[in-house]
Amino acid sequence: MRIAAVQMVSTPDVGRNLAAARRLVARAAADGAALVALPEYFCLLGHHERDKIALAEAPGDGTIQHALSAMARESGVWLVGGTLPMRIEGVSDRALNACCVYAPDGALAARYDKMHLFSFKTAGEDHDESRVLRAGDRPVAFDAAVAPGATLRVGLSICYDLRFPELYRALGAPAPCDLLCVPAAFTYPTGEAHWELLLRARAVENQCYVIAAAQGGRHENGRRTWGHSMIVDPWGEVLACLAEGEGVVGAELDLERIAGVRRRLPALAHRRADLAGAPDAAR
C-alpha cells in the first residue's frame, strides 16, 4: 500500500494554508496513497508564539478540524492531520499541540497531544513551547484498515518527541507498530544536524516504517524550517525525501518487509523487560 507525506511552507494565513493542504492531500490520493500525513502546524506558522492561542479550537469543533475531516472524506484516505492548537477547558493562556487523525469517512479516529515541549536557544533563535503550550500526558496508537485484509498499527508523535526513544517503546506495547508518524517543523540547525539520523534510528530500533511530514523552507514570518520530509523503511533505508519547498513524497509500505526484518533480526523479541526501569544503585 502507498503512503505519502505532505511538505508545506505554511504562512500566517490559515485560509491559504488549508487550501494548500487540501490540494496536496488530493494530489497524494490521486497518486494512490491510502494514508497521507501533514506537517506540524500545517494550519499556521504565525508571527508570534501566542498566535496559536488565538487560533486554538475546541475539541471536535472548529474550522481546521472540519477542514481535515472534509479532506479525508473527499480524498478517501486516512489523514494524519499534522497538528493544530487545541483549547484547554478553563485555561486561557495555554493550548495543546494536537495531532488529529481522520478515517476515510471523515470520522475522527485518534488524537495525540504532544508530550515533549521544545526548547532551543542560539544567537539567532529562541524557542520555548512551554510559554504557550501544555504537554500531553499519554502515548497514542491506533489501527487503520488501509486495504481489504490489511490493518496498520500506527503510532503518533510530534516533532521534538523524536528525541525520546522511550515514547516509541511505549507505543510498541502491547503490539509493535507498523508505522510511526512524525509531523514536524524542525528548525534548520537542529534538522541539519539530527533529523535524518533520528528518523532512521527510530525506524531501525522499532523495526517499522517511519513517515515524517515536515515544514520545509523560508516562511513569511522569517523563520526557516529544515524540511526533508521523509519515509524510512524498517531497515533504516530512506525510501523518499523532499529537501525543501512545498510538495508530496510517497512510497510503498510492505507488511512483509516488516515481518521479514523482524524474522531475520528478532531484536524486539530480545528486549529485556528487567531493563525497563531505573538502574540499581552501584554497589
Active site amino acids: 40, 114, 159
Please answer whether residues 158 and 150 qualify as being in contact, where contact means their C-beta atoms are separated by less than 8 angstroms: no
Q: How far apart are the first and last CA of the chain?
A: 52
In degrees and rounded to multiples of 5, residue 262 shows phi and psi of -70, -30
Pairing of β 108-113 and β 2-7: unpaired
Maximum CA pair distance of the chain? Answer: 62
| CB-based contact 95:125 (threshold 8 Å) | no
Q: For residues 248 and 233, what is the distance between their CA atoms, to the nearest angstrom?
A: 17
Amino acid at the residue 12: P
Angle at Cα 268 formed by Cα 263 and Cα 271, nearest 5°? 135
Is 168 strand, coil or helix? helix
